[in-house]
């Protein structure tokens, strides 16, 4: 699967109003109070938007990110993990269980970032299709487990590189089970010289 695909949102919530990227960048903040705009203006940033915290694929993503974190950080890139929880504490604890530390965490219970990046709600096939169930069982058997639903269980995940107020590149999941190579997505982008202000 290519690292970058056209945006094809799943089934949107009828109550969802469009959100501009600027609104999300200025409204969301990490545990220290820095806005997502301040963070992404500082350095090119890999933004990982999780499914609900009980999803085995959410946990698998955190484990994959833990494995890639050092290589991504070595390129001078920041990493922000966004989840639909009310606070960052539960996300941080889940990340620690998956071996993930030294990243920035943002709670987004209103899904502002998801809406701004046009990451829709999944269809039945995207969430519980036969292949998704099979890969979910494999993830559980590898120790990623399952947990209590926190957030919209129909929300799809997403990944994007954001810098200086713009989405430089994004990965659009076709199913909840998609597993992009996070190191290649982030570090390969920098190597290609596609970041705003980078040559």
Give exposure, 100-122, as e/b (b: 16+ Cβ within 10 Å). beebbbbbbeebbbbbbbbbbbb
What is the C-alpha separation between 9 and 125, in angstroms, rounded?
A: 13
- pTM here is 0.82
Tell me: pLDDT of 196 over 50.
Answer: no
**pLDDT tens profile 95-129:** 888 889 899 999 999 999 999 999 999 999 998 88
**pLDDT tens profile 135-177:** 778 776 776 666 677 778 999 999 999 999 999 999 989 999 9
Q: Where are the domains of the chain?
A: 21-191
* Selection from 133, 129, 180 nearest residue 159 by Cα: 180
Q: How far is CA 143 from CA 6, 63, 130, 190, in A?
A: 32, 10, 20, 32
Torsion angles phi and psi, residue 66, rounded to 5: -60, -40
CATH number of this structure's domain 21-191: 3.40.30.10
């Amino acid at each position: 699967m290519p690292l970058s695909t056209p945006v094809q949102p799943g089934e949107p919530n009828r109550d969802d109003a469009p959100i501009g990227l600027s609104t999300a960048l200025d409204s969301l903040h990490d545990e220290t109070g820095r806005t997502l705009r301040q963070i992404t203006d500082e350095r090119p940033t890999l933004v990982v938007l999780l499914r609900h915290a009980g999803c085995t694929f959410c946990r698998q993503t955190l484990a994959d990110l833990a494995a890639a974190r050092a290589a991504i950080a070595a390129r001078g890139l920041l990493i922000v993990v966004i989840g639909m929880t009310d606070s960052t504490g539960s996300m941080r604890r889940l990340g620690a269980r998956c071996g993930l530390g030294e990243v920035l965490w943002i709670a987004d219970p209103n899904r502002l970032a998801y809406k701004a990046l046009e990451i829709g709600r999944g269809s039945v096939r995207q969430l519980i299709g036969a292949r998704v169930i099979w890969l979910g069982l494999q993830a559980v058997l590898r120790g990623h487990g399952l947990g209590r639903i926190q957030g919209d269980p129909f929300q799809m995940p997403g990944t994007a590189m954001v810098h200086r107020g713009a989405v430089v590149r994004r990965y659009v999941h076709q199913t909840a089970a998609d597993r992009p190579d996070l190191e290649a997505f982030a570090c390969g982008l920098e190597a290609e010289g596609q970041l705003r202000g980078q040559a």
